[in-house]
């Protein structure tokens, strides 16, 4: 190993990295002539700088040089796994995280990374296996969160002696027996909440989620579309055929009722739908449901269906309407928000935008970005994740002084996550 006094020529580079001046560090490093004893450090510095710059493939290139001489370097194995994960190459990332789990004395980091990677490729059984291994070492909330999220897509085959798996099974059994009906009054909602919340008494977890999804296998690829919008301030072509039904309800009780409809309803295309409490700054409305549609004709058909379901179920709404794409686009292009129900839309995709979309897609391809993520359909059974989110909804209602929650839950209810998320919005939300 090169002695410390021989490494002084790298001090300025290391200091620039600490200051996050990564381009300066790269420039300095490229000018240094490293001998055979120093090449290991040079590769590590190059790999680290590119890693911090999120140039994942360049970081992998240098880190792999290190592995040729030191195949058990834990930091390098982890960083290559993380870099591959961030390019969407989950299968390759798993190979490095598995090596890391073998060489690490305390493998919680590797087990957690393996769990998340297996979850992303839809191998829920393996994901659960590694999350449980991680929890045996570290009682970490992020691990619990990822484990519980799987229950939306998969019912574990074996639950004995595993607390979270057994708790989810109990929640499933409770809600199978409740036989939820379309018309769900406050008395039945209170029974639903009491029976499910009783199971949470020993669960010390601030669940960081506010949206309950019911999904199909369609990947809307919203991350990519927002990258296009944020970089070029143009609306992607895909989004011009994207419509959604937005349902605003008056209070948290009616949001829970709407969730019951979303959970039970059978749709021809099993459209993606979600119920949420609004947390975006200065976005009007507190309790919302969304149904995602392909094309205006489908949206018009489904808004009629849901309007009838809402009426039959006694849900009190503020409004139900069809929206075009995402709210975030409206400020830049107000015309995009306007919907023509009697023919072609006035605001159309501009052909010169395609070149910009192609540029971004080319960049992603050059960065070897893949999308191996498996989008699984939800099982549409009320599970532990749903109950924890409903608990967050009630904490939200309590914070904004929506007193309707007291009709179905009489105890004090708090969530540090909800309090922190809307701490600057509480007065604004009380008015809506």
Taking only the tens place, the pLDDT of each residue in 243-274 is 999 999 999 999 999 999 999 999 999 999 99
Q: Is the pLDDT of residue 184 over 80?
A: no
The full 3-state SS of the chain, as one line of letters, equals CCCHHHCHHHHHHHHHHHCCCHHHHHHHHHCCCCCCCCHHHHHHHHHHHHHHCCCHHHHHHHHHHHHCCCCCCHHHHHHHHHHHHHCCCHHHHHHHHHHHHHHCCCCHHHHHHHHHHHHHCCCHHHHHHHHHHHHHHCCCHHHHHHHHHHCCCCCCCCCCCCHHHHHHHHHHHHHHHHCCCCCCCHHHHHHHHHHHHHHHCCCCCCCCCCEEEECCCCCCCHHHHHHHHHHHCCCCHHHHHEEEEEEEECCHHHHHHHHHHHHHCCCCCCCCEEEEECCCCCCCCCEEEEEEEECHHHHHHHHHHHHHHHHHHCCCEEEEEEEECCHHHCCCCHHHHCCCCCCCCCCCCCCCHHHHHHHHHHHHHHCCCCCCCCCCCCCCCCCHHHHHHHHHHHHHHHHCCCHHHHHCCCCCCCCHHHHHHCCCCHHHHHCC
Taking only the tens place, the pLDDT of each residue in 343-389 is 899 999 999 999 999 999 888 877 776 777 888 899 989 999 999 99
Weakest mean pLDDT among 1-5, 175-179, 254-258? 1-5
Report, as an integer, the average pLDDT of 85-93: 94
Report, as an integer, the average pLDDT of 399-420: 94
pLDDT at 335: 95
pLDDT at 6: 58
The percent of residues in the chain predicted with pLDDT above 70, rounded, is 96
Q: Is the pLDDT of residue 4 over 70?
A: no
pLDDT at 180: 59
Please state, rounded to an integer, the average pLDDT across all residues of the chain. 92
pLDDT at 267: 95
pLDDT at 280: 93
pLDDT band at 5 (very low <50, low <70, confident <90, very high): low
Report, as an integer, the average pLDDT of 293-304: 96
Taking only the tens place, the pLDDT of each residue in 311-341 is 999 999 999 999 999 989 999 999 999 999 9
Q: Is the pLDDT of residue 127 over 60?
A: yes
pLDDT at 181: 57
Report, as an integer, the average pLDDT of 57-62: 96
Taking only the tens place, the pLDDT of each residue in 146-157 is 999 999 999 998
List, in order of start, the domains of the chain with CATH numbers: 4-150 (1.25.40.10), 212-366 (no CATH)
pLDDT at 2: 44
């Amino acid at each position: 190993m090169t002695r410390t006094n021989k490494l002084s020529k790298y001090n300025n580079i290391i200091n620039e990295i600490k200051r996050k001046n990564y381009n300066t560090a790269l420039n300095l490093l490229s000018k240094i002539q490293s001998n055979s004893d120093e090449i290991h450090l040079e590769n590590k510095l190059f790999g680290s700088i590119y890693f911090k710059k999120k140039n994942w493939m360049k970081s992998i290139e240098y880190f792999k040089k290190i592995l040729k001489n030191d195949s058990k370097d834990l930091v390098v194995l982890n960083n290559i796994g993380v870099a591959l994960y961030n390019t969407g190459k989950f299968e390759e990332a798993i190979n490095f995280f598995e090596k890391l789990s073998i060489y690490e004395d305390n493998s919680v980091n590797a087990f957690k990374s393996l769990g998340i990677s297996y979850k992303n490729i839809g191998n829920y059984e393996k994901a659960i296996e590694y999350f449980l291994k991680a929890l045996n070492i570290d009682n970490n909330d992020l691990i619990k969160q990822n484990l519980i999220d799987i229950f939306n897509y998969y019912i574990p085959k074996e639950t004995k002696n595993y607390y979270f798996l057994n708790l989810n099974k109990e929640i499933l059994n409770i809600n199978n027996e409740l036989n939820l009906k379309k018309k769900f009054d406050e008395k039945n909602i209170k029974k639903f909440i009491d029976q499910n919340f009783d199971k949470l008494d020993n669960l010390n977890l601030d669940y960081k989620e506010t949206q309950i999804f019911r999904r199909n296998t369609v990947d809307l690829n919203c991350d990519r579309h927002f990258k296009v919008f944020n970089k070029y301030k143009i609306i992607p072509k895909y989004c011009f055929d994207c419509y959604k039904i937005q349902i605003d309800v008056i209070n948290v009780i009616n949001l829970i009722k709407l969730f019951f409809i979303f959970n039970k309803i059978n749709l021809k295309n099993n459209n993606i739908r979600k119920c949420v409490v609004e947390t975006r700054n200065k976005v009007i409305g507190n309790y919302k449901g969304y149904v995602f549609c392909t094309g205006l004709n489908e949206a018009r058909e489904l808004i009629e269906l849901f309007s009838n379901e809402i009426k039959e179920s006694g849900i009190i709404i503020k409004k139900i309407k069809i929206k075009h794409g995402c709210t975030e686009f409206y400020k830049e292009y107000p015309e995009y928000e306007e919907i023509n129900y009697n023919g072609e839309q006035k605001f159309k995709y501009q052909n010169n935008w395609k070149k910009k979309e192609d540029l971004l897609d080319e960049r992603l391809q050059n960065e070897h970005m893949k999308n191996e993520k498996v989008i699984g359909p939800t099982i549409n059974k009320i599970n532990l994740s749903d109950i924890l989110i409903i608990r967050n909804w009630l904490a939200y209602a309590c914070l904004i002084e929506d007193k309707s929650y007291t009709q179905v839950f009489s105890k004090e209810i708090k969530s540090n996550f909800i309090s922190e998320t809307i701490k600057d919005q509480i007065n604004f939300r009380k008015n809506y």
